[in-house]
Structure 1
Amino acid sequence: MIWNSQAQLPNVLPIFSRSGPTFYLHMRDRSTYITENVQIFVRVIGRESGLRLQKIRHRAACTDARSRHALDQESCSVIPCRCRVQDCFCLSRRESLFMLNRSISRKIIVLSGAIILVASLLLCGSFLVIFNNTLHSRIIPEFSKTLDLSISEIQGGVDPTQASMAAKANAAASMKLQTYLNQAASEFRLENVYILDVQGNEATVVLASKDSHLKTGEKMAASSFMQQALKNTQETVVTPLNASSDGADIDGYLAISGGSLLVAGTLDADFVEQVTQAILWAGIAITLIVIVLGALVAAGVSRQMTKPLGRLVKHARLVAEGDLQANIEVKGKDEIAQLAEAFRQMTANLRSMIGQVLEATDRVKSDSIELSRGIGLLYEIGGQSAASATEIAQSSETVATSAAENAKAMEEISGGIQHIAESASNVNDQIARASEEAVSGNTLAQQAVQQMNRVQEMTVQARSYIETMGTRSDEITEVLGAITSISKQIQMLSLNASIEAARAGEHGKGFAVVADEVRKLSDQSREATGQIEQSLSSLREDSRRSVDAIGTVHHEIMSGAEAVRNAGGAFEELKSLMQQFNHSVQEVSASTEQVSAGSQQVSASVEETARITERVQARAQDVSEGSTRQVQEMEAYARTVGELSRQADELEETVRRFKI
């Protein structure tokens, strides 16, 4: 595959690759900017294509096709040649041992290793299964039988009375029984020999041999085997193999007649775990040895198989690069040797075929040169004819264009004149309506002047009325002042009357009541007078404001009346001007209609001239197009011959790359 890197970075040649896993990128410039950006670009395309930047080496980038493409993939280098020094970025795919599609040798090694590994694991597993079955079917039952006989012998030598006394902490009985247990443990080679007192779900150690890990008086949970031994007093109960962090052992229990005491013994079975571990490690070692030996054998076999294939691949690459002189020799008569013989025959056929292609290419080149010369002469003659026809067509086209433009201009002039006539008629109508509106506006202005005069008279009357009302308010204020003075005097008189009534005693009580009522009426009159005075004061203030406002309104009305009178005069003048303008527009409209009739006649003549010119141009255009088509056909023939010659050159150049 080939990636074009020039679109991403300047001064960078395309990335190219062989059929192998390595890609190369050559730089025209080794500047820091270009180098850093190329490294970034290479890492980006590497992530997208599953590649990694393997190394950057200072190599010679060759301009020769063969030298530039003959790349050593393992060392990421270029075959030395005479060319300028450049930087070579080498990209290689991330490969692992398990990419089986890349190498037959890997396939053989990996598949062989997998088969050997599976076989070894199956063999080791079979050994462990056989040993486990033998252990549980033969060895452990023999151990259980031995422990049963030993416990029975020990139980037969234990005196039930001494055992009961020892359970009750009798020193003499405990000493004798302790000595016996020590001798029994040594004689029968048991790890522990002890006596238990089982009470319900709890068991207590009465006595234990000297090497036992159990202590006298130690309590433990009564297991189901202990309970079973108490029920079956004539039978020894042996437990299965117990494997723990402390080791493996087997326990046995036998009841002592006449109570809840048991004789118990423990047989050491650590050798079982030791033998199992030894067999496991031996199996692992055998598996590893078999895998290593199998891998070495597979590697040797694969090397013998793939070495001829490697030579065949190298030969194929040389052929792909154009070196048909290379030859390959593979000894033997197997499929690989047959494939090499087929490659030799293919190379010979290629040499013969390429020789024939070179001869045919030379003949095609010579014929295309002669044909190109003949087409060149025809092209010159056709070009001269086309040039003459083109000049005639261009002249006719210029005349036709001018005539068409004149016709179009006359049409535009006629349309403009017609539009002017229509506009003048519209203006005349609008002026007539404007004159009518001016007369109406003058009438309305006269009416507005009359209305303003009447409003002015009413304003003067309203102002006189408001001034009279202010005068009346002043007079009412004076009367209220007199009433206020009288109220004060009445109040003083009522006060004096009250004093005199108080002096008169019982005879003046009635007069005092009357004086008090008079005083109250006087107060009410004074308060009412004060309120009336306040209202009159507000009324006088409003009257003064109304007089001022009416004065302002009167002044504005006078100004408005003057403006309306001026507008009436303006409407009179506008009416006179409208009548004069209407007369002028009517005269212009009549003249425009006469000019429009004359322009229509001129436009018809110009259009007839344009039609005649167009027919002449069409005939000249047909002649020019025929000559042009002839020239184009000659050009097409010339391009075809040129393309044929170029393809012949390219074919010759391509074929010349092969060395025959």
Structure 2
Amino acid sequence: MRNVSVKVRLIISFLLIVFISTSCLGFVSYNVAKKEVMEQTLYSGQESNKTLNTFVNGVIYPQVKNIEFLAQNINSAEVGTEGLRQRLNDFQSAHSELINAFVGNENGSYVNAPNVKMPDGYDPRKRPWYKQAMENKGEVIITNPYQAVSVDAVVVTIAKTTKDGKGVVGIDLNLNHLTDEVKKVRIGKEGYAFILDEQGEVIVHPHEKYGSKVSGVQYEEIMKQNSGELTYMEGEEQMNAVFSVNPLTGWKIASVMPESEAEQEVAPIFYTTLVVVLVFFVFSLLLAYIVIRSITQPLQDLRNVAEKVKEGDLTSKVQSKGRDELSVVGTSFNHMIDSLHSVLQTISEKSHLLASSSEQLAASAEQSSQASEHVAAMTQDITEETIQQTKSIEKASLSVDEMSRGIQQIAGNSQTVSLASSEALERTEKGKQALQTINENMSMITDKVGELSKVIERLSERSNQIGKIVEVITEIANQTNLLSLNAAIEAARAGEQGKGFAVVADEVRSLAEQSSNSAEKIKALIATIQQEMKYAVQSMTDSTDVVHKGMKNVREADEAFRSILQSITEVTTQVQEVSAAVQQISAGAEEVMQITKNAKYSQEQNMEKMSSISSAMEEQLASMEEIYSSAAALSTIAEELRDNVDRFKM
């Protein structure tokens, strides 16, 4: 595909997409239509089965009712009588679909209508219909169809036990009408129907003989299930069958349809779809050619311009119109050509400058080489002078080092004195603060002593007041004593009636005496307290005098400490100034020593740099020679570049 053009690839891709999509659409449409037709065909088969089921029931069910009627009205004892024969004849004449009607009993007697002479030794009790009816007494039994002997017809016997249960009433039903109707059934054009009995033997089948035992997978499936659908091969043709069981008889009714009929019905749809696909394919081919040509033509124009640019023609341009992607690409390609034109023009100009610059560079390299040789000679002289300066700096460094050690010792001593002065100043300050604290405490003591003196004075006044109160209490006690005495006298006068009052008066007197005694004790205590308070007041006065003297001494000590503190402060300040001056000198010495060391280090560095410069100058001489050679080569390259640029047409 890499060697195929874009146009062809686009057409092939477009057609493949259209072909695949339309083919898928046609395939799906055809299969959907085929499925619908098949479902419709199966539906027709199901409807045919329902119709046949209804028809079978219409043939059999009335006869079931007839046999129930006969069995209800016949006794086994009537067998052989003319009356029963006449009734059977009348019944048979009224029902032309019946071949005959008959009754057999447990004694072996038998009667039928129309009257047909049976072979000698005929015993109804040995017949299948009799045995089956006796096994299912009270129920209607339907035998499997069989070929009648007296007439050319397929018949089925429907029988039931008589009313007394000692005989069996039966009728032979002609099924020719049923088989003829089934053979007439057509499902589609070639579809047909068939009926099998419970043993899988043919009752009616267009391709099988009556009474034959059918074989084949399809028949096995039909006999296994009551109803369903199946697909099978009949010869080389695929057939679809729908089957069900008749609940009245147990017969299997089936409808068969060839699948080819469904295919024939959907064939017009297939051809119509094929024509539509082909028309759409041709239309898509034309549309693809138009669309792809609109894509590939601008690409071809772009390719032609690119070929011209490759050959050096920068004057060609892509004709781009519109705003689609290809037009944008063409516009971008034109911009690229313009940019390339500008770049090449710039390169051409720069190549001329490069050639002239290369020549100047070669000349400059020659001059730089000569200057480098001169600088190398001067560098050698500077190196020798630097060695002499380094030796002088080493001697100066030793002297400065000794001076620095002496200054550091002085600075250390000054620092020690400064620390001692600071410590003395700190302790003096603490002493001053202690005196201030003592002075404050003395003032507080004086205040507290004053307050205590006032409290004692107030306490003395309260004691005097208490003394006065005690005197009043004593006076009251004396008066109470006198009153109690008078009361006792009056009680004695009263005689026997005043005894109780005399006892109370005596108690009052006793209490008055106790109150008087207690008052005397309180008075004595108050006198003692007042005396001790006087002593306390005197002691407080003495303490106040002592405190005042202590405060005076403290103030004098405080003044002394202030003088000492001032002196120590001045000494400390002077020592600190000396220490600071010494430290400045030490720092200056250190700085001088550091400068000396730096100078020495710088000289050593200069010596190394001079050596490096000397080596560098030698390398530079070699480099200048290389630059000269490179400049010549660069000039040649610039000429070649200019020749290449001149190839382009701008």
**What TM-score results when the alignment is normalised by the length of structure 2?**
0.38
- RCO greater where, 1 or 2, for CA within 8 Å and sep 6 or more? 2
